[in-house]
């Protein structure tokens, strides 16, 4: 594996990758900054082939764990950001011209995998 320095607010240098993986990145940023990060990735995706894989919390609307609540408050205080509910994820991802293909959540764990692809109308853009 070869590592490459990269600022995720700038153009993604690796074009047409099979997968772009981010773990605990977007929870550090408010929605407007997440949209820039996602837009840079979307611009580098090969439609029908590339996927964005996000490893983060997907909170239920009610009844979150103490760990999730603590992290949510920490993200708010430290970064003006948040742990996100499924609805919040869907809204942000839709705004970036992407859609959720699948959410994998291990039962009773505060960690999920979201698989994103470009929205059909934005393929090739
Ligand atoms: C919460 S840590 C997550 C690290 C790792 N992915 C994990 O799950 O343990 C956020 C990471 O984002 C990186 N980061 C912050 N701003 C960045 C930027 N503009 N471009 C690329 N990486 C950045 C930080 O260096 C840090 O490694």
Q: Is 24 in the pocket of ligand 1 (CB under 6 A)?
A: yes
In a domain, 72, yes or no: yes
Catalytic residue among 6, 27, 79, 91: 27
pTM for this entry: 0.94
* pLDDT per position as a tens digit, 37-69: 999 999 999 999 999 999 999 999 999 999 999
Give dist(CA 94, CA 78) in Å, integer.
Answer: 26
In a domain, 118, yes or no: no
**Which domain, by its residues, includes 62?**
19-113
Give dist(CA 53, CA 20) in Å, integer.
Answer: 6
Give dist(CA 92, CA 33) in Å, integer.
Answer: 11
In a domain, 49, yes or no: yes
In a domain, 101, yes or no: yes
Q: Which two tokens stand for residue 22?
A: 């981010």
Q: What was the pLDDT predicted at 77? A: 98
Beta strands of 1-125 (E only): which ranges? 19-23, 51-56, 58-59, 84-85, 98-105, 112-118
Q: Whose CA is nearest to atom 18 of ligand 1?
A: 7
Query: What CATH number is attached to the domain comprising 83?
Result: 3.40.50.150
């Amino acid at each position: 594996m070869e590592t490459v320095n990269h600022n995720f607010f700038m153009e993604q240098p690796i074009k047409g990758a099979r997968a772009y993986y981010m773990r605990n990145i977007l929870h550090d940023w408010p929605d407007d900054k997440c949209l820039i990060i996602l837009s840079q990735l979307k611009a580098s995706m090969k439609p029908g082939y590339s996927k964005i894989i996000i490893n983060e919390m997907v909170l239920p609307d009610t009844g979150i764990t103490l760990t999730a609540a603590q992290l949510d408050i920490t993200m708010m205080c430290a970064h003006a950001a948040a742990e996100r509910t499924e609805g919040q994820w869907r809204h942000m991802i839709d705004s970036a011209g992407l859609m959720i293909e699948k959410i994998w959540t291990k039962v009773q764990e505060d960690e999920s995998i979201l698989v994103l692809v470009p929205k059909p109308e934005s393929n090739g853009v």
